[in-house]
Amino acid sequence: MQQERSLKRRQNEWQGNEQMAQWTKCLIPDTREWIKCLHRRSNYFLTQELTRHGAFKAYTKTIGKSKNDFCRFCERVDTVEHTISGKDKWNAGHEMIKIIMKEKERKGRIRRERERD
Ligand SMILES: [Zn+2]
């Protein structure tokens, strides 16, 4: 009973909040359902998607980490919506892996050249 009251109070606060976390509120309108969801598990990527604070250039530009807000794969604005709903998301994943592998290869080559010298 106490827990139900607490969950209801938190839900009312959540619904009444019209200034912060509006994106998250749009994704999780009822916190009681989220709390009771058996497969509710957050991770690095889901947290970024739920908060909009992550490797989305529309966000990183606002905090001064990117010079522009364009998606590196299709040149549209890189928002969380673009990342999770874009038709290029699988290609983007493949491209991301290629970029990471190239970077690892480049760093390995630089390290080997330094060790040789
Ligand atoms: Zn894109």
pLDDT one-digit tens code per residue, 39-62: 677 778 778 888 888 888 999 999
Cα separations in angstroms, 90 against 8, 72, 96, 97: 39, 14, 10, 11
Q: In the structure encoding, which two tokens stand for residue 51, read together?
A: 């908060």
Say whether 22 sits in a helix, a strand or coil: helix
Q: In the structure encoding, which two tokens stand for residue 74, read together?
A: 């299709």
* Percent over 70 (pLDDT), the chain: 85
**What's the CA-to-centroid distance between 56 and ligand 1, angstroms?**
10
**What's the CA-to-centroid distance between 92 and ligand 1, angstroms?**
7
Q: Whole-model pTM above 0.85?
A: no
**What's the CA-to-centroid distance between 74 and ligand 1, angstroms?**
4
Q: Is pLDDT at 20 greater than 90 in this prediction?
A: no
